[in-house]
């Protein structure tokens, strides 16, 4: 199982991080944390080449903080994501020069932290597809709507356009009920298991909602309701 956590710098993303930790603890999923920065690097970075480019964007600091919060949840030596498998690998610096760097990966599962540049929704969806995500987790504002601070419609567009399940976590909102919205696309056993796990973690009730863009729900969906 692979989970993509899409984050910005706002408190609701940090709040949603706890739900990522809860799921990771119960599923040992491969985790990717991604943010979409406003500004691109000052100079072009060649693909696959090590770079020390500094990004003047608060998102970079936020991603570092989320990584440390995630890893520090476990005691030392107990985390499946703890960087224990270290080895030296060659990395191209220029066409005529390579350098060995030490690369450490998780003892059982990988934790990847990535920053992308461009349209927020588009980059989240591309990352989800390229990384083969089974689930996207993202936080959103409290209240009657589910929004992002700087680009309000990010949660709505990700839900509408993602090819996998999406888990929206409202900021500072006690989880006592989980609304599982099932559309006409393929509903996997893994998705249902994740819903059940979240309900168990929070001792929450589950309400299943069948969604359709037409005048009714396909017969294939009814057995899941």
Domain contains 100: no
Please name the residues in contact with 32: beta carbons below 8 A apart, sequence gap of 6 or more.
2, 3, 4, 5, 111, 112, 113, 114, 127, 131, 133
Question: Considering the domain boundaries, does residue 86 fall inside one?
Answer: no
For residues 57 and 164, state if they share a domain. Answer: yes
Per residue in 105-145, pLDDT (tens digit) is: 766 788 999 999 999 999 999 999 999 998 999 999 988 88
Residue 76 falls inside a structural domain: yes
Final residue of a structural domain among 172, 193, 208: 172
Give a yes or no: residue 129 inside a domain. Answer: yes
- Domain membership flag for residue 9: yes
Domain count across the chain? 2
Residue 199 lies in a domain: yes
> Given this model, what pLDDT does residue 69 score?
95
Which of 172, 197, 216 is a domain's end point?
172
Q: Is the same domain home to 119 and 216? A: no
Quick check: 13 and 62 in contact, CB under 8 A? yes
The 8-class DSSP code of residue 108 comes to S
Are both 193 and 164 inside the same structural domain? no
Q: Same structural domain for residues 60 and 131?
A: yes
Give the residues of the chain that fall short of pLDDT 50. 222, 224-225
Same domain, 62 and 161: yes
Predicted local distance difference test score (pLDDT) of residue 4: 97
Taking the C-alpha atoms of residue 164 and residue 223, their distance in angstroms, rounded to an integer, is 20
| Dihedral Cα 220, 222, 224, 225, nearest 10 deg | 160
Residue 136 in contact with residue 166, Cβ under 8 Å? yes
Is residue 101 one of the residues assigned to a domain?
no
Full domain range(s) for residue 216: 174-225
**C-alpha–C-alpha distance, residues 202 and 137, integer Å:** 17
Q: pTM for the whole thing?
A: 0.80
């Amino acid at each position: 199982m692979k989970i993509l956590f899409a984050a910005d710098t706002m408190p609701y993303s940090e709040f949603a991080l706890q739900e990522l930790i809860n799921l990771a603890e119960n599923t040992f999923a491969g985790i990717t944390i991604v943010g979409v920065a406003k500004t691109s690097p000052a100079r072009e970075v060649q693909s696959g080449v090590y770079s020390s480019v500094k990004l003047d964007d608060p998102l970079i600091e936020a991603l570092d903080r989320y990584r440390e919060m995630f890893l520090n949840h476990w005691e030392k030596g107990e985390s499946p994501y703890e960087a224990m498998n270290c080895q030296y690998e060659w990395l191209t610096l220029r066409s005529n020069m390579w350098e060995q760097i030490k690369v450490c990966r998780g003892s059982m599962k990988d934790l990847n932290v990535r920053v992308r540049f461009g349209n927020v929704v588009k980059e989240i969806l591309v990352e989800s597809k390229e990384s083969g995500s089974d689930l996207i987790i993202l936080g959103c504002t409290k209240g009657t709507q589910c929004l992002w601070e700087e680009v309000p419609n990010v949660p709505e567009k990700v839900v509408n356009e993602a090819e996998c399940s999406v888990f929206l976590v409202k900021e500072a909102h006690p989880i006592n009920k989980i609304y599982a919205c099932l559309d006409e696309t393929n509903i996997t056993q893994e998705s249902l298991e994740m819903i059940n796990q979240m309900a168990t973690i929070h001792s929450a009730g589950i309400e299943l909602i069948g969604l359709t863009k037409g005048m009714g729900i396909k017969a294939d969906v009814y057995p899941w309701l």
